[in-house]
């Protein structure tokens, strides 16, 4: 089974499964660089040619740069989506020179002359320079340092402001899954109206949307940052009991279709309006065949109805994209790290 590709612009195609990079930043366990680079090669050979990373994912841009040097023929096949995320403390005084330095740093780390996609994130809308920063990134695009400017975690009004300023935006990376539907509605409509694609992280909720958690006791004392993050989403969704009902509904469909819970969850995410791809933070190549099998999966109205019955009883999460995470005193915002460029 081939991983399909999708066209985001006249000259730009990506794989519909994107290899996530957050798990390589060291907060999810020990990383062997040589093993991580070898796994990147296997992913490309399997057709997952689009890699997601960020300037604030410690060491990940450098790892991808090392992969490019170690496997030059495979490197020519990949698309690298990095991010520009200035520290919270820098937002009030950020200058065009600061933005250019950040982009130059990513170019050096990745060992490229032009960045394929830069996804722009802004921690605090009270710092008023997010539109100007997006405009500066677009200027660097016109200057040839960036092929495509994108955003990540913007809410609908602020993304609309950036678009109104004339910035050419390719895509929006958002947290979007069966248990987190905040991008549905206004954000999905805005993106569709402006030709933006949604790239979904958290589509498997850090692995919670899988058979591993079916029938499991509610976890306590989690130390993995990804699991901590998505357990908070489960709590907002309606709690562990409702989440278990969802897993049982997904499992029923998976067994009927000869698939897995994760495949059904990913298929449903990919079927949402404006969604181009899902980002899966795989820690190894063990599930490559499972990733490919997502695209052979066809779900009937009956399949979807059973899952929708559970989803209709959801309690949250509420608000626009990333609203909860922007409250630095709240449960979601308190686990974030805001100063990662040092």
pLDDT digits (tens, 9 = 90+) for 69-126: 999 999 999 999 999 999 999 999 999 999 999 999 999 999 999 999 999 999 999 9
- pLDDT recorded at residue 342: 80
- Extract the tokens encoding 62: 């450098």
Cβ burial of 69 (10 Å; 0-12, 13-18, 19+) is exposed
What is the domain partition of the chain in residue ranges? 5-335
4 secondary structure, DSSP code:
P
Given CA atoms 32, 34, 37, 38 in this order, what sign does their dihedral have?
Answer: negative
pLDDT category at 183 given cuts 50, 70, 90 is very high
pLDDT category at 21 given cuts 50, 70, 90 is very high
- Extract the tokens encoding 117: 């996609």
Task: Yes or no: say if 233 and 180 are a contact pair by the CB < 8 Å rule.
Answer: yes
Kind and range of the H or E run holding 163: helix 156-164
- Among 22, 156, 163, smallest CA distance to 82 is for 22
How long a stretch of residues is the chain? 342
CATH superfamily ID and name for 5-335: NADP-dependent oxidoreductase domain (3.20.20.100)
- pLDDT recorded at residue 139: 98
Q: Say whether pLDDT at 27 is over 70.
A: no
Q: What is the pLDDT of residues 136-180, one digit of tens each?
A: 999 999 999 999 999 999 999 999 999 999 999 999 999 999 999
- pLDDT recorded at residue 5: 97
| CA 253 – CA 195 distance, rounded (Å) | 32
Kind and range of the H or E run holding 118: strand 115-120
- pLDDT recorded at residue 54: 97
- pLDDT recorded at residue 34: 93
Task: Yes or no: say if 172 and 154 are a contact pair by the CB < 8 Å rule.
Answer: yes
- Among 55, 124, 137, 116, smallest CA distance to 93 is for 124
Return mean pLDDT, the chain: 96
């Amino acid at each position: 089974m081939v991983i399909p590709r999708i066209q985001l612009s006249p000259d730009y195609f990506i794989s519909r499964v994107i290899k996530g990079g957050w798990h390589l930043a060291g907060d999810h366990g020990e990383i062997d660089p040589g093993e991580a680079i070898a796994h990147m090669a296997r992913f490309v050979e399997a057709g997952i040619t689009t890699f997601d990373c960020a300037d604030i994912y410690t060491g990940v841009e450098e790892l991808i740069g090392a992969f490019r040097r170690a496997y030059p023929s495979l490197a020519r096949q990949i698309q690298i989506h990095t991010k520009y995320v200035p520290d919270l403390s820098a937002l009030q005084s950020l200058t065009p020179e600061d933005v250019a330095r950040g982009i130059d740093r990513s170019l050096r780390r990745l060992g490229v002359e032009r960045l394929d996609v830069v996804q722009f994130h802004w921690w605090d809308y009270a710092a008023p320079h997010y539109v100007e920063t997006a405009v500066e990134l677009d200027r660097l695009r016109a200057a040839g340092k960036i092929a495509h400017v994108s955003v990540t975690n913007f809410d609908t009004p602020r993304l609309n402001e950036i678009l109104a300023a004339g910035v050419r935006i390719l895509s929006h990376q958002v947290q979007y899954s069966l248990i987190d539907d905040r991008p549905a509605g206004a954000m999905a409509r805005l993106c569709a109206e402006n030709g933006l694609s949604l790239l979904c992280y958290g589509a498997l909720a850090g692995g919670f949307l899988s058979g591993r958690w079916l029938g499991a006791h509610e976890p306590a004392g989690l130390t993995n940052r990804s699991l901590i993050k998505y357990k908070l989403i489960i709590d907002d969704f309606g709690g562990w009991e409702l989440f278990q009902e969802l897993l049982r509904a997904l499992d029923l469909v998976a067994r009927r279709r000869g698939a897995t819970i994760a495949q059904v969850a990913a298929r449903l995410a990919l079927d949402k309006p404006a969604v181009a791809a899902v980002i899966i933070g795989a820690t190894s190549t063990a599930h490559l065949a499972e990733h490919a099998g997502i695209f052979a999966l066809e779900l009937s109205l009956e399949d979807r109805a059973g899952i929708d019955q559970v989803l209709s009883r959801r309690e949250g999460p509420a608000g626009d994209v990333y609203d909860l995470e922007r409250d630095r005193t709240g449960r979601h915002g308190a686990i974030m790290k805001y100063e990662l460029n040092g």
